Amino acid sequence: MRNGSVQHRPFFKVLVANRGEIALRVMRSARRLGLSVVAVYSDADRDALHVKHADQAVRIGEALPAQSYLSIPAIIAAARASGADAVHPGYGFLAENEAFARACKEAGLVFIGPSPQAIEAMGNKAGAKEIMKKAGVPIVPGYQGADQGDEVMLAEARKIGFPVMIKAVAGGGGRGMRLVADAASFPDALRSARSEAKAAFGDPTVILERAIQNPRHIEIQVFGDSHGNAIHLGERDCSVQRRHQKLIEEAPSPAVTPELRVRMGEVAVAAVKALRYEGAGTLEFLLDERGEFYFMEMNTRLQVEHPVTEAVTGLDLVELQLRVARGEPLPVRQQDVRFEGHAIEVRLCSEDAAQDFMPQSGRMARWQVPDGIRVEHALQSGSEIPPFYDSMIAKIISHGASREEARGRLIVGLEQLTAFGVTTNQAFLMSCLRHAGFAKGEATTAFIGAHRDELLAPRRGAAFDTVLAGLLLYVTNPRAPAWQSGRSLSATFPLPAKLEIAGHVHELEVTRERDGSYTVATDGRRDRFEIEQLDADAIRFRHDGVMDSAKFLRDGDRLYLQHRGIPLAVIDLTLAAPKAAASNGGDGKVRAAMNGRVVAVLVKPGDRVTAGQPVLTLEAMKMEHVHKAGLDGVVAAIDVAEGEQVTTGRIVAEIEVVTGEPSST
């Protein structure tokens, strides 16, 4: 199969058709090569860092991706308006859209990526499998036929044998993907996968695959150029995932031997040469417990996790993309590629791991990154995290001489990072990195599912952090006596405090003692603190003979606290009125759990529902989230319409408890 021609000519100004950290990452390498850079932005990103750091920036539409970052005409118009002569798509959005690559070519723009024909051939999972099968690459048994009828799909799933995997043919990132255990749950899973695929990629078509149990997710980074050269840059292990989306990636893989690396690399390079592929690409494989590997898909773009490959090879992959797009030969041959040390990357996401990784949006009140470790991000204190895009907000990458060194450096880096104001998976990532199974290099794609309770368990010291939060609420209260070191003229009466952490309410008493120390009492324990230093954002104190410190941010009745790397969000309820109703739907009100768009209303007024029954589906940060009834009853009202954008906490449906059958209308 021939991939068609890639347009080569010198270019001097690159428009980055993306946002956030990847836009800044591309700009950095482009500037190193002496190129000017142009940003594009939606209304939600008007004040974003990638806009401020570009030489020029062009508005391309409203907040929703379909009206901005997925609008091919808007991006082509932006390139013309700015005078850009090349376009880098980053990853996600239009990065693997053959129509976009073709539109760039027709507009006289250099598309920094493979040809439209190559994107089309490999971007469709069904077609890619056929191409790879003909090339002798092992593939997972499945169904990728044109007949997408519900009955046909169920029959094919039965032939393959459950469990099966449903996958969207277009795109990636876990969207439109469902693991189905049995025939009974197949129809609902199929509908949901199609809906999510349609929303994310504009194409509801799916394929079926046999679900390989407990595999490793291994991918091979490849590069090709217009001179017939092709190389691989080793493998990355991306097995630690949630919702079929990667959270932790590393190079090299603990499961890949030197012999297996050579074998997988040779297969990948042979495929690239057969395609006459140009630019960066990644072949993704499942590696089973016997050491057999199966092709899943090819990503015809730069990967989110490319920094770990850069760390172990010393190469700048974005620079290689730019050079290949200019028609230059690859500057490195296969025999010149060297792998040094070990690298691990974690994806910091604005999500609540304890609430099934529910996406979070809002204002990042304080953002500080650690020194001495690579952090890819586009944030600053005060940045808004909108609900319309992916939940990944940063990547933290460590490199060490050994895997254990890289793991240790990454844990310390996460401990030192500060992200106050929006819930993130920071603590969950540290739990994963510290887990014995991950430390031993044993993590498969089943890692999070198998160890979820352990990974989410409250850490030792959680009770102490509650006490520390009570102390901080006391000493940072504007009406509290000014803190000063040394003895006090008199002790204060114990003052009550009431606070909420992760949905749990705690009652405490705080006392300022005559010697200047503080006593915090709660749940049968009494803790004594001596404050050594109290700044606007940090506290140093002695407790049980140990000098310790914590970072914090007081924002009205909210306190953000980070002690020994674990962030906490605290609500001061001391003067708050009692809550009038439950927020979990127990009062009959179904509330939006996040900012999002209504994509499906599953019931109508008058329907009888049972507790736990799906009522409505919201889409937030490219994922679907089903909202369920909190009690048995009858739907009294649906307060939203499909397509409507709603905010967190808004009532979307109302359910009344009734006796007997509902009356007919």
Catalytic positions are 301
Q: Pick from 70, 646, 590, 560: which is nearest to 387 by CA?
A: 646
What span, in angstroms and rounded, lies between the C-alpha atoms of 619 and 597? 5
Does residue 168 contact residue 176 with C-beta atoms inside 8 Å? yes
Structure-token pair, residue 112: 């920094």
Residues 6+ apart with CB under 8 A from 374: 307, 311, 396, 397, 398, 399
What is the Cα 594 distance to its own chain's centre? Answer: 16
Residue 157 identity (one-letter amino acid): A
Tokens of 157: 């799933």
SS3 state of residue 94: coil
SS3 at position 406: helix
CA distance 424 to 427: 8
Local structure of 332: helix, strand or coil: coil
DSSP 644: -
Sheet holding 374-377, edge to edge: 293-299, 279-287, 216-224, 230-242, 245-251, 342-349, 392-400, 374-377
CA dist 345 → 250, 305, 364, 446 (Å): 6, 7, 22, 19
Tokens of 422: 């929006």
**Under a CB-based contact definition with an 8 Å cutoff, are residues 350 and 378 in contact?**
no
Beta bridge partners of 87: 15, 111
Cα end-to-end span (Å), the chain: 63
C-alpha span between 395 and 72 (Å, rounded): 28
Task: Show the tokens assigned to 470.
Answer: 């009570």
Q: Is 414 helix (H, G, I), strand (E, B) or coil?
A: helix
Q: Which residues of 466-499 are buried (b: 16+ CB within 10 A; e: fewer)?
A: bbbbbbbbbbbeeeeeeeeeeeeeeeeeeeebbb
> Tokens 């051939």 appear where?
121
